Each structure stands twice: as C-alpha cells, then as structure tokens.
Amino acid sequence: MAVLLQSLAVVTVATAGEQPVAWKSAPDADLLQSVYPQEALDRSVEGSVRLDCRVTSTGKTRDCAILSESPADYGFGQAALSLADSFEFYPARTDGTPVETAHVRIPVTFSPPPQLTHIRWKRQPSEDDISAAYPALAVNKGATGAAVMNCFVTAVGTLTGCRIMSQTPGGLGFGDAALDLSALYVLEPTTAMGESVAGGAVSVEVNFNIEGTPPVGLNRLAAKHRLLKSLAWTKIPSADRRLAAYAASDPGKSADGLAVFRCHIAATGALERCRTLSASGYGGVEGAARRLLAEFQAPSPADADTSVDLSIHLWPGLAAGPSADDRPPLSKVEFDLLNTAFKASAYLPRPAVEAGLKGGWATVDCVIDPAGAPTRCRASAEEKPGLGLGEQAVAAVSRMRIGTWNSQGEATVGRAFRMTMVLQGRPPE
C-alpha cells in the first residue's frame, strides 16, 4: 500500500538543531488505517493530531502526549497515540554521538483512503466458491441474499481490512460469508483510467443466488467438508527456500508476484490436488509458488475432506529483508481459532462495569509464536486507564490462535502484531 500512503495518513517530524531526528521506519498504510477511528472513517471525516514525544538515543519514542487534535471527540488523538510505540527514528546526534531529544513534535494527519472507481477484476469468486461459503442458516431457510463490504486494496491487488456495510436479509450470515470470500478477489494493478489501486478502498457486492436457488446440501452443510482460510501450519517454507524459488523463476528486475491455490489436505497433513485460483505479478510466479507447496505441512485433519486456500507472495525483499523483530507490527492478523476461552474473556472487567462503562477498548501488542499463539503480550493503550481494560484485553488476545501464514502470502511467525480489542458489557450472570 506504499503508493498511496500519503493519502491515508502523513507523519512528519520537525525538530530544532543541526542534526535533527529523522524517520527510520514510518508506520505503513495498513498500520495507520488499523487505528483510524471507526465513526470518523464511516463519515469520511479527516483529522489531524500533534504529538509531543521524547526520542531516545536508540530511536524509540517514549513519554508521548497529545498536544492537539482536530476535530475533537472522534478519537484521533488516542488513535495517533496508540501508534507511538511503533515509530522508529534515526536519533539526533551531538558530535556524532546519538542523544535523546525532548519535545519532538510529530504531526499525524488522517485522511480516508480514496474510493476507487473504474476498477478491473483479475479474479472474482466462482460459483463453486460462493457455494462453499453459502451460510448454512440461509440454506436451511431456502433464502437468497447479498452483502456489501468495503475493503482496502494491497499493492498486489488483493483485499484486506474488509468491513461489512450491509447485508440483506440480516441475521442469516451473509456478511460473514462475504468476508470468507474476500481473499478470492484480486484487482488489476491499475484502474481503467490508469491509476494505481494500491492503498485505495473498493466497495464489493457479493450476491448469494446461484441460478436463483441456494445450493442446498453443498459444502457448508456437509459435516465432513471444511474450507479453511487460515491455519496454524506445522511447517512452512523457510525464507531461503522462498528466495531460491523466486530466483529460479527468472522474475526480472524488481518483480513482485502473488499466487493463490486451493489445496486438499491429506490425512498426513500434506497438500494435494492443488488448483490455481489466481496468479498476479510477473509471469513465472505461479510455477515458482507451486514448487513451494510441498514445503507446507498442515496439522492432520480430523476428517478426510478438508481444503485450504493458500497464498504465496514472492518479491525482491526476500533477498535482503529485515528480520521479523525489525519489521513494523502487523496491523491485521487472521485467526486459526477463536475458542470459547477467548469469547469468555472479551468482556469488560468488573471495575469498568462498576464505573458505568458500557463498552471500552484497549490496544495490545504481541508476538506470534510457531504454534500461532500470541506471546509477550502487553497493553500499549487503553480508553480509560485504571479500570483493567488493558489487562482484560491481554487476557483475551492471549487465548487466540492465529494463522502462521496469511492471505497476503507471507509467514507471520515471529512477527509482532498490534490489535485494538473492543470489550463488550458483561452478559447477565
């Protein structure tokens, strides 16, 4: 999403001195978009914030405070503040020695992403895909329906950060089914007007009406058929193996490609009967990615009829990319499992309820371990300090299981992620 980064949010730093603080790693568009206040985003409201921070001699920020935010009451200040820990700078220097700098002013401007028009689809879900996603409740009722989602577009034309704007009729699962299908949409890299789609937003309507009749008895209802979108893999290809596959495919200068497959998971956990759903970018990406499929190992399925959608991203950064610890936090993670323990923790803590809160949020930072479990979790921001929101959010997030390979075709093991957890009022006891 780097192409349209400035249209999403601009972060700049100015400080006095001959050797000023300078950006080392500014937050990427996905991270900025992930904290955009929802009400402001829904209303297309722009906002601006000024933060005052110390930048340490190692280039990290601390002791940040909100100097100003406009307009007020939309949450732009807290949104910018929740990002401060991810800012990285080249520190100021005195006689060549890094020094800590106080009162570094960091303006942050929030602008909604441009809504794309004249888009061209490279791939859309097939009738079989829609049949596989058709919600069981709707099938049982003999209902057809539709859902509209709004999504952000990545540099390779895939969709991310999708939100359901409407679903008709409600209560039958058409919104969730549309989100299941979002990974199967791929746009051409430019619109019909020649503009890049990266970093923009697109509205997608998904119709669930196969030849006028719901696909009664198909995949979604079959107890022994599952189509997985995310998985905590027991084995994934190493960076060296991906680099070797990329180099052997003769990609050309600065080529970037993404291939998406649908594979059956054998009883051993190996992938079999893989078919290509889409391939975008340079010409050899499909063959190169296909050679890596044997490097994936899934947990042995509980039944013999489980499939998974798998994306593989090959790009020049594989050659000299930073380590997992050096990359900015993931702003979006894909769940392998949201278990009952997580759901039981996603409520306001008792002190917050007693203080009269009906809902609240806290931002949590974690690292994904090889089993897909969040580790080293800590609360980096919370709506109302002192009421236990951060501790409760950490407890809930720690019980999640996250896919160790995401729909953008990249490994997530060892990556930090940032999640703003919305806590609901406690159910009646």
Q: What was the pLDDT predicted at 388?
A: 92
In three-state secondary structure terms, 248 is helix
Query: Which two three-digit tokens encode residue 77?
Result: 């200040």
Q: Please name the amino acid found at residue 212.
A: G
Domains by residue range for the chain, with CATH: 2-110 (3.30.2420.10), 121-222 (3.30.2420.10), 228-321 (3.30.1150), 335-424 (3.30.1150.10)
Query: Which two three-digit tokens encode residue 168?
Result: 């008709």
Strand 306-314, strand 226-228: pairing: parallel
Integer Cα distance of 59 and 20 in angstroms: 12
Closest CA to 272 of 262, 258, 287: 262
Start-end of H helices in 134-192: 136-140, 174-181
CA 207 to chain centre: 24
**How many helices (H) and strands (E) in the chain?**
12, 22
Residue keyed to tokens 């957890």: 421
Integer Cα distance of 335 and 357 in angstroms: 28
Contacts (Cβ under 8 Å, ≥6 apart) of 56: 62, 91, 100
Contacts (Cβ under 8 Å, ≥6 apart) of 60: 85, 87, 88, 89
Task: Give the CB-side neighbour count of residue 419, counting CA atoms within 13 A.
Answer: 24
DSSP state of 29: H
Q: Is the dihedral of CA 386, 38, 182, 122 positive or negative?
A: negative
Q: What was the pLDDT predicted at 375?
A: 94
Query: Which two three-digit tokens encode residue 428?
Result: 């009646």
Closest CA to 256 of 276, 277, 289, 280: 280
Query: Which two three-digit tokens encode residue 16?
Result: 């006095």
Strand 61-70, strand 88-90: pairing: unpaired
Q: What was the pLDDT predicted at 325?
A: 54
Please state the length of the chain.
429
Strand 101-110, strand 121-123: pairing: unpaired
pLDDT tens over the chain, length 429 residues: 232 333 333 344 444 445 678 888 776 666 666 678 878 877 888 899 999 999 999 888 988 999 999 998 888 888 888 888 778 888 888 888 889 998 899 888 888 888 899 999 988 988 878 877 888 778 777 788 999 998 888 777 888 778 899 999 988 889 988 988 888 898 998 999 988 888 788 999 999 875 544 444 444 434 456 777 788 999 999 888 888 888 888 766 667 888 989 898 998 999 999 988 888 878 888 999 999 999 999 988 766 678 888 999 988 766 555 555 556 677 677 776 655 556 667 788 889 888 888 778 888 889 999 999 999 999 988 878 899 999 999 998 988 888 899 888 888 999 988 887 878 776 545
3-state percent breakdown (helix, strand, coil) of the chain, nearest 5: 25, 35, 40
Q: Is the dihedral of CA 326, 332, 337, 341 positive or negative?
A: positive
Q: What was the pLDDT predicted at 112?
A: 82
Contacts (Cβ under 8 Å, ≥6 apart) of 103: 15, 52, 54
- Other C-beta atoms within 10 Å of 6: how many? 13
What are φ and ψ of residue 125, in 5° steps? -60, 140
What are φ and ψ of residue 393, in 5° steps? -65, -40
